[in-house]
């Protein structure tokens, strides 16, 4: 146990703003330092959060700020290098998803954490929804029986990010699959207690992005800031060691219901099927449980209460409590590696047109 609040920092103040909310809500940590190359954003955030220690150089922050933990909230291509720098400085790391672009990078990050006896955690914020956690408890308590299939989806009608580097393979490692698909992939693996994947098959497409169509925050035809050489849709088929199968589908853009933006996890088992469907990040009527009672089909509609911190806020609050009291953390580097391994194999399969073995 640490007998004081943990000293926390953030590198990258885009999605890092969501991490800041968690640190400011936490009883076990305090936000003492922030870093961003955009000086205007850095100072605006520092003033809003009353953080005096402001840096444009993360290496300097790691040396000077006396941090216990830092959130890495940068483009995907920088996750490994900056996380490893923090880990080598003896600082616990909360890295945004995806943990890394490649399996090799993820393994290097895990090795750095082990070498320096610090924790590496991944910001899987959708685990920290009350409906996601209810569904995991249902699975873990055996209410679905033996799970034989999982369907994991995130689909948008017009949702290609028109800003930043989301469309750049060099900066992001991929498109819709590594941006959106990683979230539902993690949810499925986490709910099923991380069964080992045996093989992966995948297919990707780029239909709308190369034409600058269906971009989020831009008019059709406007140039996408970072270019576009990734997929705007993809699908994967995964065979698991338990005998179960998993289908992953993630799209940034497609012709479907106008303004569609929703994710889902469906787990089919021998005793029942649980379905999580979230539209536009809402929290109302998101769950169904299908089973049988006395040989008749029954539909259960849970009324889950969204009490307490949710999303990134809930994630940070939980991780800081675990770190301070020396408990196992809710997310780990191994969890991050599991998703990266599947995504890397999926992209390889799509490129080479064959099934990829993982064992």
Query: Which tens digit of pLDDT belongs to each residue from 219-243?
Result: 777 788 889 999 999 999 999 999 9
Contact criterion met (CB below 8 Å) for 18 and 313: yes
Question: pTM for the whole thing?
Answer: 0.97
- The DSSP result for 14-80, as a single string, is STHHHHHHHHHH-SSEEEEEEE-S-HHHHHHHHHHHT--EEES-HHHHHHHS--SEEEE-S-HHHHH
pLDDT value of residue 220:
72
- pLDDT at residue 263, as a whole number: 98
What class is the 130-305+340-357 domain?
A: alpha beta
Which has the closest alpha carbon to 229: 216, 214, 217, 212?
A: 212
pLDDT at residue number 353: 98
If you ran DSSP here, which 8-state letter would residue 253 be given? B
Among residues 158, 163, 160, the alpha carbon closest in space to that of 225 is found at 163
Q: Kindly report, residue by residue over 270-282, the tens digit of the pLDDT.
A: 999 999 999 999 9
Residue 1: how many CB atoms within 10 A of its CB?
A: 6
Q: What is the CATH class of 6-125?
A: alpha beta
Going from the first residue of the chain to its last (359 residues), give the mean pLDDT of each consecutive group of 10, the final group possibly shorter: 95 98 98 98 98 98 98 98 98 98 98 98 98 98 98 97 93 98 98 98 97 86 87 98 98 96 98 98 97 97 96 98 97 98 98 97
- Dihedrals φ, ψ of 123, to 5°? -80, 70
pLDDT value at position 163?
87
Please report, for the chain, the start and end positions of each structural domain, with discontinuous segments joined by +: 6-125, 130-305+340-357
| Sole residue written with tokens 């449980």 | 289
* pLDDT score at 268: 98
């Amino acid at each position: 146990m640490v007998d004081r609040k943990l000293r926390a920092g953030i590198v990258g103040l885009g999605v890092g703003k969501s991490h800041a909310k968690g640190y400011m809500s936490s009883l076990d940590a305090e936000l003492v330092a922030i870093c961003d190359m955009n000086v205007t954003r850095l100072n605006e955030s520092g003033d809003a959060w009353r953080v005096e220690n402001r840096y444009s150089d993360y290496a300097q922050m790691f040396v000077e700020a006396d941090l216990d933990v830092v959130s890495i909230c940068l483009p995907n291509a920088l996750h490994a290098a900056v996380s490893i720098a923090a880990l080598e400085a003896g600082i616990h790391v909360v890295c945004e998803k995806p943990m890394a672009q490649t399996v090799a990078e993820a393994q290097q990050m895990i090795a750095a954490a082990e070498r320096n006896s610090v924790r590496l955690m991944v910001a899987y914020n959708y685990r920290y929804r009350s409906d996601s956690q209810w569904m995991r408890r249902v699975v873990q308590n055996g209410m679905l029986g033996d799970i034989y299939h999982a369907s994991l989806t995130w689909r948008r009608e017009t949702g290609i990010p028109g800003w930043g580097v989301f469309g750049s393979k060099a900066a992001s490692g991929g498109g819709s699959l590594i941006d959106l698909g990683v979230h539902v992939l993690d949810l499925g693996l986490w709910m099923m207690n991380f069964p080992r994947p045996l093989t992966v098959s995948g297919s990707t497409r780029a239909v709308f992005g190369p034409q600058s169509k269906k971009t989020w925050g831009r008019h059709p035809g406007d140039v996408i800031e970072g270019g576009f050489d990734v997929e705007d849709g993809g699908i994967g088929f995964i065979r698991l060691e338990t005998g179960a199968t998993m289908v992953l589908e993630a799209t940034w853009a497609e012709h479907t219901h106008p303004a569609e933006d929703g994710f889902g996890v469906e787990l089919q088992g021998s005793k029942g099927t649980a379905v999580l469907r979230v539209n536009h990040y809402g929290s109302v009527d998101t769950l169904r449980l299908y089973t049988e009672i006395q040989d008749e089909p029954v539909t259960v509609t849970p009324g889950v209460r969204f009490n307490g911190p949710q999303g990134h806020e809930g994630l940070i609050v939980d991780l800081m409590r675990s770190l301070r009291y020396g408990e196992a953390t809710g997310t780990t580097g191994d969890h991050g590696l599991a998703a990266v391994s599947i995504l890397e194999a999926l992209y390889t399969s799509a490129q080479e047109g064959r099934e990829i073995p993982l064992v």
